[in-house]
Amino acid sequence: MTDSPSPKPGKVLVPAENLRVFAAALLQKGGLSPDHAGTTAEVFAWAAQRGVDSHGIARVPAYLELLAKGIANPTPRIRLESSTPAAAVLDADRAPGPVALTAAAEEAVTRARTTGIAAVGVRRTVHTGAIGHYVSKIAEQGLVGLAFVAGMPNMGYTGAKGAAVATSPLAIAVPADGRAPLLLDMATATIALGKIRQAKASGVPLPEGAAATEDGTPTTDAEKAVMPLPLGGAKGSGMSLAFELLTSVLVGAPIFSDFHSGDPEGRKHRQNALLIAVDPAAFGGAEPFAESVEATLATLKTLTPADGAEGVYYPGERSAAVATERAADGIPVAPKVWKQLTEAADQLGVALPALADARARSTARVVSERPHRYAKQLVSHLGRRAETSWDDEKGEGRLLFQDGVGTLAAEDGALLLTVEAEGGSLERLEAVVGRHLVRFGTKDELVVEWLRDGGEPGGTYRAE
């Protein structure tokens, strides 16, 4: 059993590859080169496919904003600096994190093939995205991957007031023959900032010890919470500070000290990272290592589950199962995120992706004194664009478009119309049908307002 639920009402289901291509097209229009747009979109799609929606396709609008504001550099001059075979520093020149860290992971693997272990630091990048992706790419090459990231302070530090350190993550990936790799991907915070925002929106309390007010006072009130608290108290804050030393300070681009210096320049967004690749062949042989990894994971799977537990899982196992499921069924995109993406697509002139088989639906109730006559006119006229049918006795009709369907139902004083996208664009169907609904309206002030699944408003079309 996986933890990938069926799409909730209102969510749009998009095939994984379609979503990746769509994200890449948006990012390219936002200023990235085709290669850099593709690399960045791959990281987002990877996270979304594994159920890490906070770092998935939802990040595209934020990255477009980073590019538009000049925070992220769309045309970076990435430089690699090195004085030893096993170590290097990649100066990202404010490139998006997926671009910089993908290059760093590839460089670490290349060097580790020769030296047994190699580390590549990343200096001056912008939002690294899901760092589990980069260590997973290392594990795909049969090597062990480790990654540390340091960013802008947004989390409390044990014993200090206010935001002091960053919710800096770490990730470890270990290849496992015949299984999904072990993938540990975690932040040093008890709760993500996104979870605080969700709790605030839904009006639910936060867990004890998870978040704090602006001055660092712990609170369960989501309205008062502005920052997460470190995982395990002093342990989480200590890890975050250590990651700052292992990344920012190590590559000569400190963040923590500059942030607290009082200089406004120190508060400009940036991140640093360190990626390490370890070749098991240099530590006694790749084959014995693989056998022992399998024995370890197999032993874990034989342990007796605790009461109420579905099973015993190793890190990354369940998210890999979610990825398999979403690869087959599509990736659900939340209504709010889909609206942001469609708005960006409209502004940038990017075609929306074809949806998965699960249908996205819009419904409109159109006031009409003679709904049967109105429906017959509509069916007749739409016959140029769709296969249509109408049963006057039942007061029901059907429309079959190339990329969607529609149903009509006449009732007293109104016509109810529903359109559903089947692998196509719901917005296009709304526009096509909506214009015809208005054209045959019986009153000049007629307005057709769609209501999408989940209550999200769709397009509105007014009579002229």
* 64 pLDDT more than 70: yes
In this prediction, residues 395-420 reach a mean pLDDT of: 78
The pLDDT tens digits for 79-135 are 999 999 999 999 999 999 999 999 999 999 999 999 999 999 999 999 999 999 999
Q: Are 371 and 397 in contact (CB under 8 A)?
A: no
Q: Which residue has the higher pLDDT, 102 or 5?
A: 102
Q: What φ, ψ does residue 195 adopt, rounded to 5°? A: -70, -35
* 334 pLDDT more than 90: no
The pLDDT value recorded for residue 451 is 65
> What are the tokens at 169?
């993550």
Alpha carbons 58 and 194: distance in angstroms, whole number: 11
Q: For a pLDDT cut of 90, what percent of the chain falls above it?
A: 61
The pLDDT tens digits for 273-313 are 999 999 999 999 999 999 999 999 999 999 999 999 989 99
Number of Cβ atoms within 10 Å of the Cβ of 87: 18
The pLDDT value recorded for residue 1 is 33
The pLDDT value recorded for residue 403 is 62
Alpha carbons 219 and 68: distance in angstroms, whole number: 36
The two beta strands, 12-14 and 331-333, are: antiparallel
* 408 pLDDT more than 90: no
Residue type, 248: S
Alpha carbons 359 and 453: distance in angstroms, whole number: 10
Average of per-residue pLDDT values in the chain: 87
The pLDDT value recorded for residue 381 is 75
Q: Give the dihedral of Cα atoms 219, 194, 346, 437; nearest 10 deg.
A: -70
pLDDT range class, residue 443, cuts 50, 70, 90: very low
Q: For residue 164, give the H/E element and its range.
A: strand 163-165
The DSSP output letter for 304 is P
Bridge partners, residue 282, by sequence: none
The pLDDT value recorded for residue 279 is 98
Number of Cβ atoms within 10 Å of the Cβ of 35: 11
Name the 3-class secondary structure at 381.
Answer: helix
Q: For residue 404, give the H/E element and its range.
A: strand 404-411
Q: Which residue has the higher pLDDT, 35 or 375?
A: 35
Residue type, 205: P
pTM for the model stands at: 0.75
* 397 pLDDT more than 50: yes
The pLDDT value recorded for residue 4 is 39
* 158 pLDDT more than 70: yes
The pLDDT value recorded for residue 359 is 59
Lowest mean pLDDT among 42-56, 114-128, 319-333, 370-384: 370-384
* 457 pLDDT more than 70: no
The pLDDT value recorded for residue 445 is 42
Lowest mean pLDDT among 122-136, 302-316, 397-411, 445-459: 445-459
Residue type, 123: R
Lowest mean pLDDT among 238-252, 260-274, 294-308, 359-373: 359-373
Q: Which residue has the higher pLDDT, 429 or 83?
A: 83
Alpha carbons 368 and 386: distance in angstroms, whole number: 23
Q: Which residue has the higher pLDDT, 272 or 324?
A: 272
The pLDDT value recorded for residue 410 is 85
In 3D, which of 175, 186, 185 has the Cα closest to residue 297? 175
Alpha carbons 390 and 77: distance in angstroms, whole number: 62
The pLDDT value recorded for residue 364 is 77
Alpha carbons 209 and 237: distance in angstroms, whole number: 13
Lowest mean pLDDT among 52-56, 68-72, 236-240: 52-56
**CB-count burial class (<10 Å; 0-12, 13-18, 19+) for 439:** middle
Alpha carbons 117 and 146: distance in angstroms, whole number: 11
The pLDDT value recorded for residue 424 is 56
In 3D, which of 73, 165, 82 has the Cα closest to residue 119? 82
pLDDT range class, residue 196, cuts 50, 70, 90: confident
State the chain's maximal CA–CA distance in angstroms. Answer: 84
In 3D, which of 364, 395, 380, 376 has the Cα closest to residue 458? 364
Lowest mean pLDDT among 226-235, 288-297, 342-351, 407-416: 407-416
The pLDDT value recorded for residue 460 is 53
Alpha carbons 424 and 223: distance in angstroms, whole number: 39
In this prediction, residues 308-333 reach a mean pLDDT of: 92
In this prediction, residues 71-76 reach a mean pLDDT of: 97
Alpha carbons 350 and 342: distance in angstroms, whole number: 9
The pLDDT value recorded for residue 220 is 94
**DSSP assignment string, 60-127:** HHHHHHHHHTTSS-SS---EEEEEETTEEEEE-TT-BHHHHHHHHHHHHHHHHHHHSEEEEEEEEEB-
The pLDDT value recorded for residue 439 is 61
* 212 pLDDT more than 50: yes
